[in-house]
Copies of this chain bind each other. A is one copy, B any other.
Amino acid sequence: MTWNVNADRLWDSLMEMAKVGPGTQGGSRRLALTDEDVAGRNLFRHWAGDAGCALRLDTMGNLFARREGKHPNAAPVLSGSHLDTQPSGGRFDGILGVLGALEVVRSLNDHGVETEAPFEVVVWTNEEGARFPPSMMGSGVFAGILDQTEIYSHTDPDGITVESELHRTGELGKTPCKAFPIKAYYELHIEQGPVLEVENTMIGVVTGGQGLYWKHITLCGQDSHAGTTPMAYRKDALMGASRIITGLREIIHKHSGSVCTVGRLETIPASINTVPGEVFFTVDIRHPDDATLEGIHDQLLGLVDSVCRQEGLSVNFDNTWKTPAVNFHEDCIAKVQRAAQDLGFSHRDIVSGAGHDACHVTHIAPTGMIFIPCENGLSHNEAENTTPEQVAAGADVLLKAVMASSG
């Protein structure tokens, strides 16, 4: 194979799609199942139709654009992502995965290639979860992880249900939303982190998604006067929280590939001259291996216990939430690796820190993902950016991996 995708066409399509539901600073605002989202999907329908694809809509609004192969009854190769965005979303998160897969169709057409297996581009409904929780909704129902009846009843902040918006927009299809035999699923995405850019690497070969713990922690000590309470008599909840935050990072540093974040912290009361008797904070810890993640979680509990005993605090844990790690399919990983290698792109294995539709699909089909760098690791932001060269590199790797899987 000596030809590539049409880099200009792909970039132009990305820029064209960004104009649908435009943001105020160059990005897009297409919240799931709004008129703007539907306008984006309709633009995709138009392009997919022009490329000769047959469209199919399922009961969750997941949209499939099928290019026939030599064997119509063979399990298809799938590739896609989502077209919905965050409220102030960028031009690439999700969109690249859909339009990259569409570019694969267009390129196969350009060069008159007939694949053995059919190829389908998929647009998953409501990946962002910004309007209706949870995120990765359409792929979650498809993979049998979420229940469609329950999901239909979920509401946006105005109390409007998913089901009524699927009806209103005409996006409630006839095909039952459930998994069918899929030969392989690939998803092209921007990294949404800084690693590839900082390491000057073109392609991230994604080996899986991190397991995740979320916890709410409240420490209780005693409010006291900042001037009249000697250090030895204090029960300072913020001192306890600070020791846990720095101590947790030391634990994390002993486990390669893990990350931890305390993103929210509140002092109660919040007064310059009162020792805070209560502190609430959140913890987010992630690791690509579930057993290691459990080990880190255990060490966090030990740290909290030890700090609380030393500082005279009590603790309350709340809202613990766990998502297991996912491992992509070794065959798909190998095909992405091989494609990057053959195309001469610098590449490295990488674990996805964010959730993606692929993390659901991997439960019902051999799955792989391809990352390309994004500027300053920035995403979920209108300033989200990447380059035409990086976009084309990602799509070329996708094309090669798809062809390798299609036979």
CB A289 to nearest CB in B, in angstroms, measures 15
Query: Does the CB pair B252–A246 fall under 8 Å?
Result: no
Q: Which residue of B228, B267, B286, B355 is within 8 Å of A193 (Cβ)? A: B228
Query: Does the CB pair A226–B273 fall under 8 Å?
Result: no
Query: Does the CB pair B246–A230 fall under 8 Å?
Result: no
Query: Does the CB pair A194–B353 fall under 8 Å?
Result: no
Query: Does the CB pair B286–A262 fall under 8 Å?
Result: no
Given A193-B230, A225-B353, the answer on whether A263 and B276 have CB atoms closer than 8 Å is: yes
Instruction: Tell me, in angstroms, the Cα distance from A322 to B233 when the chains sit together.
Output: 25
Instruction: Please tell me which stretch of A45-53, A149-157, A237-245 contacts chain B, meaning at least 4 of its Cβ atoms lie within 8 angstroms of it.
Output: A237-245
Q: Does A111 contact B (CB under 8 A)?
A: no
Within 8 A of B (CB), among A206-243: 210, 212, 214, 224-231, 233, 236, 238-239, 241-243
Chain A 260-286 interface 0/1 with B at a Cβ cutoff of 8 Å (1 = within): 111111110111111110000010101
Query: Does the CB pair B238–A192 fall under 8 Å?
Result: no
Query: Does the CB pair B228–A192 fall under 8 Å?
Result: yes
Number of interface residues of A (CB under 8 A): 56
Chain B residues whose C-beta falls within 8 Å of the C-beta of A383 in the assembled complex: none
Interface residues of A, dominant DSSP: mixed
Q: Does A191 contact B (CB under 8 A)?
A: yes
Instruction: Tell me, in angstroms, the Cα distance from A264 to B265 when the chains sit together.
Output: 10
Chain B residues whose C-beta falls within 8 Å of the C-beta of A194 in the assembled complex: 224, 228-230, 233
Query: Does the CB pair B267–A267 fall under 8 Å?
Result: no
Q: Does A379 contact B (CB under 8 A)?
A: yes
Q: List 26 interface pairs A-B (beta carbons < 8 Å), by A numbering.
A: A193-B229, A193-B230, A193-B233, A212-B227, A225-B354, A226-B259, A226-B261, A226-B263, A227-B284, A227-B286, A227-B353, A228-B354, A229-B259, A229-B353, A231-B252, A231-B259, A241-B242, A242-B243, A263-B267, A263-B270, A263-B273, A263-B276, A264-B267, A264-B271, A265-B265, A265-B270
